[in-house]
């Protein structure tokens, strides 16, 4: 928990999130139009999406399944009966004049997400509900000085609205929750988590109070599309509220927007309070009933989720908590690691993946899916080390070459003649040469400065271009110096 | 004279003559096009499509020559202008949709055309199907072809399918589509002296029909015989995966069982449908209907539908609430008329204020109010619970009978303008048709006699859900016994 | 259940319906009459009664996840009062 130190004492930030996650599906929630991102204007719009007279919605079974899958992934109750309601309001990018959503009976009820905090402790963020709803279209305000242009390609795309309890106590916790939720959704394959494209965005409810005191009045910051913005907006907003209260003012419950350029929040022009959404069950649709069997079938096919995976990495593969945490944070990373670790020393694999691979990817700005070194190639490199074919030091160079060329380890090692020298005769000759050259130091060693061993090892390695097996070098040196 | 002979046919008769090659679809179409031109004073059509009719008819004749006849091959029909028709203006009789030309065809009209039907045009209606007199149309009221004896005032055809009722009664088409939300097929059928059937909710697809109240709207046929409506419904109905409320069950051959009679069936007579204000002539006709059915071998039984009195107010909450939301899409952004304002909100308000007529505005306001914060439970939710009670009443009644017989309407046709100042008096027209709508049950009106004023009166048959076969059998029994052959005097 | 002119104005705003000031009073009267009539419903005992959701109890039918529609931008804007290329155009919205 991190408190804000105000002039009048400490303040606690209280944060709850309403997350909108675009469901991964081919077609929209109630029509057969494509959900693909970035199409030509109104090209991915059906008669239903454009709300032409007499058009009717038919729900997409896969979107329902995805919502159930997500609910199960959040450890939540799946409601056997849920209802699609109409949320009525007027806006040009809402063609029906209502959004089909779920109000009083959502498809998913209470669940929970565990987040790991900086200090190593865990916090549980309770999920209040998850429901399915239609996305709106897009209004473009900057194409014409007098007109707003409307593109309905997104109109009707399935969204999951995931609502948390106000369980987060700092902007960092809100960011950690969002990151964790994103990870879970990506594991489940129910949302691609692409925040830049708007596939995942959050409304952040922020209030402040005296630590442990009664909840304060909250403000909702709309539509934040990056984890950084969530952290910044929440921090700014909490600070703003403390300043107002300490200045003798009071917080007005309102909806605000985050100005990403200036890093401040400002009130929206249209006040949320003016809305009266007149929810009622959509008479074009029947209640959605899900059988126990159906839910069980989806549950049976659920992938291993990050918490379970992390626990297994620690328990069965002997990884440290930190390494396991890093590896499971992204499903692709975890899968890459598992492929490398399969049948190999898991700790070595974790080291290579976390330090060498991630480092190289970071430097080159590549995603794991674009890595020039595939899991099989990295595994091959580790095998060469394990077999003593190359030294760990040479392996770093080989990895670099692999990353640059996309070739496998063995071919690089063979081509460049990097095999480790373990032939004792060859190494003895090198060692003899060094000892003969530095008799002074040999004498020092023998007079008790045994830590000079490292110096001799280094010389031997240098003389062999790093190819000598360090263990053999050590043994031979000891034998000769200690005799 | 030859033309009259063609426009007087029932669909079944026309089918026989087409089959025997005595008449072509083109001749039938031409006769009706001429009739429509001669009866423009009725204002039954919003859009006449004579070229389309001729083209459809020629294509039909060609199919027939190739031996590819559908169930309605060459039959000229009118389509209520609530059905979206590809390439033909579809307005819901609203100014806000004036000029709207869909790029798609409603499932029901597509089914009819796939069965060989010929389209004569789009029929007038109450704006967005909201009304019981066809006086709320943006395109002006429709006149009933009938006149009260000794009174030359123009009468309403009923509504909302008033253009359909007037066109069928006036011999402007052999049959027409209607839609029924609270009586919008049955009441105009009764007022115009034609047969009108509303199938079970879910029997016909709602896809492509401009929505009024989604949980109540059903398409159905209007024609001049029970057989014709059975034939038409057979072509219109069917499961449609594009409508989540469409029911996936087989459509029986309604015509095949039409003549099976009612012997051995029990006809329920609901006590609550006898209203204090029911006129004597309607009461007498109802009694007569019971007698006809008894004579045909059915056993009348008294049944009770105790929540009947709540049905009409419940309906007038549910329907406007759903409508207020269904009509939100008419915002002048993607189609229809727009009235430019100072800003977007003002543009919306002006567009909708100018585009919707008074009755539609009134219902949108009622519906918006009923759904607004603080009132949902007291109004909409309460009404939906009452609806459950109304539906249970019917279920219980059908434990002791096979179908119900009631009058269709509490009055005969009234004069244009007579009730337009009092919304509740207008709403009371639907008091006998609304309960079956709330319960989603199949119900139809059969012309059975004339009122004291010489105007047609209908009797209503209500059957169990998805038992349209019994409904048609009972209606056919009434039709045979009533031998209703009165027709409006040709005018104009 | 008294609906006054302020309420009518508020509902009309919610419904985005332009109602001239001089019609507000009349509409308030009409709505009151209709709502009074609705109060009849209070006579129905609905304790423990579930609201009706379907005529025939059936599961909500679901559609397979496949792209079957789209590519009709021209059709969609064909009826638009105002378009800018394939976009719909409306008076400027200020957020």
Of the candidates B24, B60, B80, B420, the residue annotated as catalytic is: B80
* Residues contacting A407, CB < 8 A, separation 6+: A377, A401
What does the block give as tokens for A1? 């928990």
Active site residue B400: no
Q: What is the pLDDT of residue A357?
A: 96
B99-136 pLDDT, tens per residue?
999 999 999 999 999 999 999 999 999 999 999 999 99
pLDDT of amino acid B2? 44
C13 and chain B: CB distance < 8 Å anywhere? yes
**B contacts of C27 (beta carbons < 8 Å):** 362, 365
pLDDT in tens, B6-55: 999 999 999 999 999 999 999 999 999 999 999 999 999 999 999 999 99
CB contact (8 A) between residue A54 and residue B372 = no
Q: What does the domain layout of chain A look like in residue ranges?
A: 4-275, 304-416, 424-482
The C residues from 32 to 71 touching B (CB cutoff 8 Å) are: 33-35, 37-38, 40-44, 46, 49-52, 54-56, 58, 60-61, 63
Give percent of chain B above pLDDT 70.
Answer: 99
Q: Provide DSSP, A199-260.
A: SEEEEEEEEEESTTS-----EEEEEE-SHHHHHHHHHHHHHHHHHHHHTT--PPPEEEEEET
Say whether B385 is catalytic.
no
pLDDT band of residue A393 (cuts 50, 70, 90) is confident
pLDDT of residue B355: 97
Question: Half-sphere exposure of A331 toward its Cβ, with a 13 Å CA cutoff?
Answer: 17
What is residue A1's predicted lDDT score, i.e. its pLDDT? 59
Sequence-distant (6+) residues with CB within 8 A of B114 are B70, B235
Contact residues on chain B for A52, CB-CB shorter than 8 A: 84, 102, 104, 334-335
Q: Please write the tens of the pLDDT for every residue from A203-244.
A: 999 999 999 899 999 999 999 999 999 999 999 999 999 999
Chain B interface test: which of A30, A42, A49, A56 (most B C-beta within 10 Å): A56
Distances (CA, A) of A388 to A467, B317, B458: 11, 84, 100
User: Under an 8 A CB cutoff, do B334 and A90 touch?
Assistant: no
List the Cα angle B132/B138/B143 in 5-degree steps.
Answer: 55
Q: Name the catalytic one among B90, B132, B160, B225.
A: B160
Residues with Cβ within 8 Å of residue A26, at least 6 apart in sequence: A34, A35, A62, C65, C66, C67
Buried/exposed code over C43-74 (b: 16+ C-beta within 10 A; e: otherwise) = ebebeebebbbbbeeeebbbbebebebbbbbe
> Nearest Cβ partner of B361 from C17, C40, C80?
C17
Q: Which residue of A has its CA nearest to B202?
A: A284
What is the per-residue pLDDT for A270? 60
What is residue A128's three-state secondary structure? strand
Separation in Å, CA of C84 to nearest CA in chain B: 12
Residue B195 β-bridge partners: B223
Average pLDDT estimate for A455-469? 85
Nearest Cα neighbor of B273 from B220, B226, B218, B311 is B311
Q: Could you read off the pLDDT of B169-213 as tens digits, one per residue?
A: 999 999 999 999 999 999 999 999 999 999 999 999 999 999 999
**Angle, in degrees to the nearest 10, between helices B358-371 and C21-38:** 60
Residues in chain C whose Cβ is within 8 Å of chain A: 14, 16, 51, 53-54, 58-73, 76-77, 82, 84-95
What's the rounded Cα separation, in Å, for the pair A278 and B368?
8
How does pLDDT run along chain C (95 residues), one tens digit per residue? Answer: 579 999 999 999 999 999 999 999 999 998 998 889 888 999 999 999 999 988 888 899 999 999 999 999 999 999 999 999 999 999 988 66
Asked if the model's pLDDT at residue B459 lies above 80, the reply is yes
How many beta-carbon pairs below 8 A join chains B and C? 159
Q: In what order do the strands lie in the sheet with B218-223?
A: B45-48, B118-123, B76-80, B175-180, B218-223, B195-198, B443-450, B456-463, B403-407, B266-270, B299-303
The answer to whether B214 touches B328, Cβ cutoff 8 Å, is no
Helix axes B308-326, C21-38, angle to 10 degrees: 140
Chains touching chain A through at least 3 C-beta pairs below 8 angstroms are B, C
Residue for token pair 């003969």: A436
Nearest C-alpha in C relative to A61: C62
Q: In this predicted model, which residue has the larger pLDDT, B301 or A480?
A: B301
pLDDT of residue A10 exceeding 50, the answer is: yes
Strand order in the sheet with C87-91: A138-140, A147-151, C87-91, C83-84
Is the CB of residue B409 less than 8 Å from the CB of residue B192? no
- A257: chain C residues, CB-CB within 8 Å: 95
- What is the rounded distance in angstroms from the CA atom of residue B329 to the CA atom of residue A146? 23
Q: How far apart are CA A164 and CA A149, in angstroms?
A: 34
Structure confidence at residue A273 (pLDDT): 45
Interface test with A, best of B330, B331, B344, B372 (most A CBs within 10 A): B331
Q: What residues have CB less than 8 Å from C47, skipping those under 6 apart?
A: none
Min Cα distance C33 → chain B (Å) is 8
Mean pLDDT of A409-426: 84
Of A59, A48, C87, nearest to B84 by C-alpha is A48
Q: What integer pLDDT is reported at residue C57 of this predicted model?
A: 84
Report which of B4, A359, B427, A352 is spatially closest to residue C35, judged by C-alpha positions: B427
- Is omega for the bond preceding B160 within 30 degrees of 0, making it cis? yes
Structure tokens belonging to residue A75 = 């450890």
pLDDT digits (tens, 9 = 90+) for A123-154: 999 999 999 999 999 999 999 999 999 999 99
3-class SS letters over chain B = CHHHHHHCCCHHHHHHHHHCCCCCHHHHHHHHHHHHHHCHHHCCEEEECHHHHHHHHHHHHHHHHCCCCCCCCCCEEEEECCECECCECCCCCCHHHCCCCCCCCCHHHHHHHHCCCEEEEEECCCHHHCCCCCCCCCCCCCCCCCCCCCCCCCECCCCCCHHHHHHHHCCCCCEEEEEECCCCCHHHHHHHCCEEEECCCCCCCCCCECCCCCCCCEEEEEECCHHHHHHHHHHHCCCCCCCCCCCCCCCCCCCCCHHHCCCCCEEEEEHHHCCCCCCHHHHHHHHHHHHHHHHCCCEEEEECCCCHHHHHHHHHHHHHHHHHHHHHHCCCCCCCCCCCCCCHHHHHHHHHHHHCCHHHHHHHHHHHHHHCCCCCHHHHHHHHHHHHHHHHHHHHHCCCCCEEEEECCCCCCCECCCCCCCHHHHHHHHCCCHHHHHHCCCEEEEEEEECCCCCEEEEEEEECCCCHHHHHHHHHHHHHHHCCCCCCCCCC
Question: What structural domains and CATH numbers belong to chain B?
Answer: 2-263 (3.90.1300.10)
B60, B106, B164, B184: which one is catalytic?
Answer: B184
Interface of A with C in 5-44 (CB under 8 A): 25-27, 31-34, 40-44
* Res A116: pLDDT: 87
CA A128: distance to chain centroid?
22
Q: Is B184 a catalytic residue?
A: yes
**Pairwise CB contact (< 8 Å): C41 & B313:** yes
Alpha carbon A55 to chain centroid, angstroms: 39
Looking at 2.170.120.12, 3.40.50.20, 1.10.10.410, 1.20.1330.10, the CATH number of the domain A424-482 comes to 1.10.10.410
């Amino acid at each position: 928990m991190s408190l804000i130190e105000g002039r009048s004492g400490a303040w606690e930030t209280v944060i709850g999130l309403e997350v909108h996650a675009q469901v991964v599906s081919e077609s929209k929630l109630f029509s057969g139009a494509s959900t693909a991102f970035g199409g030509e204007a109104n090209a991915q719009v059906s008669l239903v999406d454009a709300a032409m007279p007499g058009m009717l919605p038919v729900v997409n079974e896969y979107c329902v399944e995805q919502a159930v899958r997500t609910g199960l992934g959040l450890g939540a109750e799946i409601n056997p009966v849920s209802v699609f309601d109409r949320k009525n309001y007027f806006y040009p990018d809402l063609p029906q004049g209502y959004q089909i959503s779920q109000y009083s009976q959502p498809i998913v009820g209470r669940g929970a997400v565990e987040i790991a905090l900086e200090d190593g402790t865990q916090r549980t963020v309770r999920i209040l509900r998850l429901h399915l709803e239609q996305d709106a279209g897009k209004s473009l305000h900057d194409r014409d000085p007098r007109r707003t242009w409307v593109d309905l390609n997104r109109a009707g795309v399935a969204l999951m609205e995931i609502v948390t309890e106000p369980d987060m106590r700092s902007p960092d916790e809100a960011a950690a929750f969002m990151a964790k939720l994103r990870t879970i959704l990506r594991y489940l394959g129910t949302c691609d988590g692409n925040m830049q494209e708007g596939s995942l965005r959050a409304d952040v409810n922020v209030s402040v109070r005296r630590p442990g005191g009664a909840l304060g009045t909250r403000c909702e910051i709309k539509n934040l599309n990056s984890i950084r913005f969530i952290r910044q907006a929440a921090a700014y907003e909490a600070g703003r509220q403390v300043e107002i209260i300490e200045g003798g003012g009071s917080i007005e419950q309102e909806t605000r927007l985050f100005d990403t350029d200036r890093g401040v929040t400002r009130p929206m022009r249209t006040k949320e309070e003016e809305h009266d959404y007149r929810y009622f069950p959509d008479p074009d649709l029947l209640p959605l009933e899900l059988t126990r069997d159906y839910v069980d079938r989806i549950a049976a096919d659920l992938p291993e989720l990050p918490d379970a995976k992390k626990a297994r990495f620690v328990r069965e593969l002997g990884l440290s908590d930190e390494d396991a945490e890093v590896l499971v944070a992204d499903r692709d990373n975890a899968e890459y690691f598992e492929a490398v670790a399969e049948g190999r020393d898991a700790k070595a694999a974790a080291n290579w993946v976390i330090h060498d691979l991630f480092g190289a990817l970071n430097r080159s700005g590549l995603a794991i899916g674009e890595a020039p070194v595939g899991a099989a190639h990295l595994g091959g490199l580790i095998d060469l080390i394990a077999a003593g074919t190359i030294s760990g030091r040479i392996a770093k160079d080989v990895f670099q070459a692999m990353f640059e060329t996309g070739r496998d380890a063995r071919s690089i090692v063979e081509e460049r003649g990097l095999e480790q020298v373990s032939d004792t005769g060859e190494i003895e000759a090198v060692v003899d040469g060094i000892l003969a050259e530095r008799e002074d130091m040999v004498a020092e060693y023998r007079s008790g400065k045994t830590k000079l061993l490292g110096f001799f090892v280094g010389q031997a390695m240098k003389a062999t271009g790093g190819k000598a097996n360090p263990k053999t070098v050590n043994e031979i040196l000891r034998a000769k110096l200690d005799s | 004279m030859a033309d009259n002979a063609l426009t007087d046919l029932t669909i079944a008769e026309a089918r026989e003559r087409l089959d025997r090659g005595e008449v072509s679809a083109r001749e039938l179409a031409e006769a009706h096009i001429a009739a429509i031109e001669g009866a423009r004073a009725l204002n039954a059509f919003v859009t006449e499509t004579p070229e389309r009719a001729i083209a459809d008819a020629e294509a039909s004749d060609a199919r027939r020559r190739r031996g590819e006849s559908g169930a309605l091959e060459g039959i000229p029909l009118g389509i209520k202008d609530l059905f979206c028709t590809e390439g033909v203006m579809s307005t819901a009789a609203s100014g806000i949709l004036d000029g709207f030309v869909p790029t798609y065809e409603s499932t029901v009209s597509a089914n009819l055309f796939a069965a060989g039907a010929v389209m004569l045009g789009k029929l007038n209606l109450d704006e967005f199907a909201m009304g019981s007199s066809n006086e709320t149309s943006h395109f002006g009221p429709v006149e009933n072809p009938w006149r009260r004896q000794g009174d030359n005032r123009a009468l309403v055809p009923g509504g909302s399918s008033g253009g359909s009722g007037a066109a069928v009664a006036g011999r402007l088409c052999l049959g027409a589509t209607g839609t029924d939300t609270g009586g919008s097929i049955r009441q105009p059928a009764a007022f115009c002296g034609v047969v009108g059937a509303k199938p079970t909710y879910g029997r016909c697809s709602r896809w492509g029909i401009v929505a009024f109240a989604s949980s109540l709207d059903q398409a159905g046929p209007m024609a001049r015989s029970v057989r014709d409506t059975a034939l038409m419904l057979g072509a219109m109905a069917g499961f449609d995966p594009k409508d989540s409320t469409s029911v996936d069950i087989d459509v029986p051959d309604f015509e095949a069982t039409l003549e099976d009679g009612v012997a051995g069936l029990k006809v329920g007579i609901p006590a609550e449908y006898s209203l204090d204000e029911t006129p004597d002539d309607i009461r007498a006709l109802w009694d007569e209907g019971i007698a006809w059915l008894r004579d045909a071998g059915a056993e009348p039984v008294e049944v009770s539908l105790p929540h009947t009195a709540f049905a009409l107010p419940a309906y007038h909450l549910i329907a406007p609430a759903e409508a207020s939301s269904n009509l939100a899409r008419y915002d002048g952004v993607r189609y229809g008329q727009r009235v430019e304002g100072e800003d977007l909100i003002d543009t919306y308000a002006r567009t909708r204020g100018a585009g919707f007529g008074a009755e539609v505005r009134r219902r949108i306001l009622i519906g918006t109010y009923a759904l607004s914060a603080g009132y949902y439970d007291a109004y909409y939710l309460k009404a939906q619970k009452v609806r459950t009670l109304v539906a249970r009443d019917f279920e219980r009644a059908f434990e002791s009978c096979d179908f119900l017989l009631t009058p269709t309407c509490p009055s005969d046709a009234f004069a244009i303008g007579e009730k337009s100042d009092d919304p509740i008096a207008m709403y009371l027209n639907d008091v006998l048709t609304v309960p079956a709508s709330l319960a989603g049950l199949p119900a139809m009106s059969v012309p059975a006699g004339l009122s004291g004023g010489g105007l047609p009166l209908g009797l209503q048959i209500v059957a169990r859900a998805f038992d349209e076969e019994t409904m048609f059998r009972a209606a056919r029994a009434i039709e045979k016994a009533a031998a209703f052959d009165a027709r409006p005097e040709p005018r104009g | 259940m008294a609906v006054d002119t302020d309420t009518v104005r508020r509902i009309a705003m919610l419904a985005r319906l332009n109602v001239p000031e001089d019609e507000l009073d009349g509409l308030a009267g009409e709505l009151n009459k209709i709502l009074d009539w609705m109060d009849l419903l209070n006579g129905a005992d609905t304790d423990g009664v579930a609201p009706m959701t379907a005529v025939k109890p059936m599961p909500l039918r679901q559609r397979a996840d496949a792209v079957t529609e789209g590519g009709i931008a021209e059709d969609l804007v064909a009826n638009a009062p105002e378009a800018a290329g394939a976009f719909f155009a409306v008076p400027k919205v200020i957020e």
